[in-house]
Chain A
């Protein structure tokens, strides 16, 4: 018997609105269609009517998880058009916030994956580790969601010696729960049964969909923008690009798990070697000539691109935002084929989608 099973746009396993139509044969998925756009807030259009300073605040609200990545990508685009060179300390502070954001995003996905699998004690353990990261972000920036740490020309706020010491202490405290989470996900039979061989995507499929971030790297793509096209002084830090080859849900979980370790290394290096320079260029209202620039940065979920066009006025001609989920969500039908309906929620969640980001 064949059925068409709708999932979403409001579904208990997925926290954000997306609609997936599953075309099934019995309990196996033959084909699927993804419908997006339930959360469009017209942010790109609004950006056309804002000046450069207002736009930073606006784009930071595209997403509640990777808010810093959005404002950073926008600032980098404007700085490149205006030919502004950010002082090293400003770049290092941006890197620290980027990596803390990656930590809490990856912990979030690991927790949600555990919850969907039905392993709620792992969910709680992961979220208690995530809470330490949230505390660090709150201490450094004053906020848990929109950090407001970027301005055009550098970082808005400094991190003093005491702050850096405190950060290193929190990072040290994180190591023990992190080891335990690796142990849980690496050894547990339930996790393995629910994730290994499920929702597979080959290297060739990943390439043709143009996948990015942990989702692409789980299928063998070497696509970490921090490594291949460094920005914000990422070239100063010693870390590895985590790549797996199996392309299943387990690989996606594993990539994120190992990337947490790499982010910890980056934060430690940045905090220990913080340069003694100004944090920004002191630009209040930037003079931006007519120009265009395409920025790409490695947000927690993958490659985030901002195409910004200016026309010499005080506002944007165009701000075109493409988030990692724009790339990764298109691959969902290919991942679902041949899998069971019961695994559909987990497979969709394994790309770590952010539909709020995607719809902007």
Chain B
């Protein structure tokens, strides 16, 4: 059994943490995002440190600095993916087109906090509206 190795950091420490990791040639394994029970945005940065996962967590912010200028390809889709499902922004992130969501989806950034029933009803209304046209 592995234990999670978590360090909590604040927003101002993200870029320096990423630069340090890159200088030590640590691989960015993945970035994750979720909204906790209290409604805080939580972003987790997972790095490979000699075969062990090291997780840095920053929570409670609406905007986070991008690390795409440091980890480039590794971070690009991770940050874009998080932006689609959570109401957060990465300052300096050059967003491409949509990743996973349909072009005409109007609930971007709200998926994790909107009940599935509400999403279903919205979709139904839209389909009905189009059919009635």
Q: A residues touching B (Cβ–Cβ < 8 Å)? A: 33, 35-37, 40, 44-46, 48-49, 79-80, 83-85, 207-210, 223, 228-229, 231, 291-294, 296, 303, 305, 307, 309, 311, 317-318, 320, 322, 326-327, 330-331, 334, 359
Q: How far is the CA of A54 from the CA of B100 in the complex (A)?
A: 24
Given the interface pairs A48-B112, A305-B29, the reply to whether A294 lies near B72 with Cβ below 8 Å is no
**Chain B 92-111, CB within 8 Å of chain A: the 1/0 string?**
00001111111000000001
Bin the interface of chain B by size. Answer: 35 or more
Nearest chain B CB to A337 CB, angstrom units: 14
- B1/A229 in contact, CB under 8 A: no
Which residues from A are CB-within-8-Å of B15?
none
Q: Does B53 contact A (CB under 8 A)?
A: yes
Q: B residues touching A (Cβ–Cβ < 8 Å)? A: 1-4, 6, 27-30, 32-37, 44, 46, 48, 51-53, 55, 71-74, 76-78, 81, 85, 96-102, 111-112, 116, 119
Given the interface pairs A83-B1, A305-B46, A359-B100, the reply to whether A210 lies near B71 with Cβ below 8 Å is yes
Which residues from A are CB-within-8-Å of B72?
208-209
- A37/B53 in contact, CB under 8 A: no
Instruction: Kindly identify which residue among B2, B30, B116, B119 contacts A307, using a CB–CB cutoff of 8 Å.
Output: B30
- B77/A294 in contact, CB under 8 A: no
Given the interface pairs A79-B1, A208-B74, A305-B30, the reply to whether A294 lies near B53 with Cβ below 8 Å is yes
Q: What are the nearest 9 A-B pairs in CB distance?
A: A210-B74, A318-B34, A209-B73, A307-B32, A37-B100, A228-B51, A320-B32, A305-B30, A40-B100
Nearest chain B CB to A89 CB, angstrom units: 17
Q: How far is the CA of A168 from the CA of B106 in the complex (A)?
A: 54
Q: How far is the CA of A83 from the CA of B3 in the complex (A)?
A: 9
Q: How far is the CA of A330 from the CA of B1 in the complex (A)?
A: 32
